[in-house]
Amino acid sequence: MQALSSLLSGQIVAVHGRHYAVETAGGETLMCFPRGKRSRLACGDRVAVLRTAAGQGVIEAVDPRRTLLYRSDGHRQKLIAANVTQMIIVLATVPSFYEELLNRCLAAAAQQGIRTLIVLNKLDLAQPRAGTLQALELYRSLGYTLLPLTAKLDVSPLRPYLSGQLSVLVGQSGMGKSTIVNGIFPEARAPIGEVSFALDSGRHTTTYSRLYRLDGDSAVIDSPGMQEFGLSHLTQSELASAYVEFRGHLGRCRFADCRHCDEPDCAISAAAARGEISAQRLEIYRNLARELVQRNPR
């Protein structure tokens, strides 16, 4: 380890494979490599770097993280962002969004104690998906903040939610994350992909995570579009606790290790039978719970 006096403090503002763009406290950006062959660094990490040449450096240390958002599938992990305080889940009226992916994002955020904001974008295209906003009313009723938006016309409704937060934009390709970034940070010039109406899907345009500063206390990380969000790192208890409507019923099941799938005398199943829990949300939970058992058998 180099002497502390020779190290520069900074934050990772872009990730390109094993190359990391680090913005120092003095406002300079260095292209850095980590020490060693393996690295588990993410956009948003605060690091100590050693300058090795003009515009270049080596990452010598990583500060303790406030949060780490990542997805996991078996033995593989994909880091998304570090130290974020808010996850902005971007959905759209076109192309169709996957409600299970929304639930996965909400669970990952809950496990890390990250606040969430659900943005429904492209309301100018609402006619083909007239029921989309109504479908999300369930989440509003559960206490989640839902923000309707037409980002290509006006992103100003989103700005108050960004103040004082390190936010990360997540969502499927084609939801309009890059349009949101360009609306808030015109200098970003993030490429925007076209949506295939025939295939009801979007095209990947953001290929790496990038941090944009709004002011001294606020920043936004744009992340690549995703179709999957593995939750293998969650425990069964963490997954159940992520469902806010379950919390008043947890601990009341007949069995202490109840997974709330098909066990007898399950308080969650009973609440769903009484109409207190959405049958659709419960079914999504059960799919995720069974997936955890398959990937993490006892």
Residues 175 and 245 in one domain: no
Residues 85 and 128 in one domain: yes
- Give pLDDT, residue 297: 61
135-158: per-residue pLDDT in tens? 899 999 999 999 999 999 999 999
Q: What is the pTM of this model?
A: 0.89
In a domain, 254, yes or no: yes
Average pLDDT over all residues of the chain: 88
In a domain, 227, yes or no: no
Last residue of a domain, one of 177, 196, 222: 222
Residues 29 and 74 in one domain: no
Task: Going residue by residue through the chain, which has 298 residues, state the pLDDT in tens, using 9 for 90 and above.
Answer: 555 558 999 999 999 888 999 999 999 999 999 987 777 899 999 999 999 999 999 999 999 999 999 999 877 889 999 999 999 999 998 767 889 999 999 999 999 999 999 999 988 875 545 567 778 999 999 999 999 999 999 999 999 999 999 999 999 988 999 999 999 998 875 544 443 333 334 344 456 899 999 999 999 999 998 888 999 999 999 999 999 999 999 999 999 999 999 999 999 999 999 999 999 999 999 999 999 988 776 5
In a domain, 231, yes or no: no
In a domain, 255, yes or no: yes
Assess contact for 222 and 206: CB atoms under 8 A: yes
Structural domains counted in the chain = 3
CATH number at residue 55: 2.40.50.140
* Residue 168, domain extent: 68-222
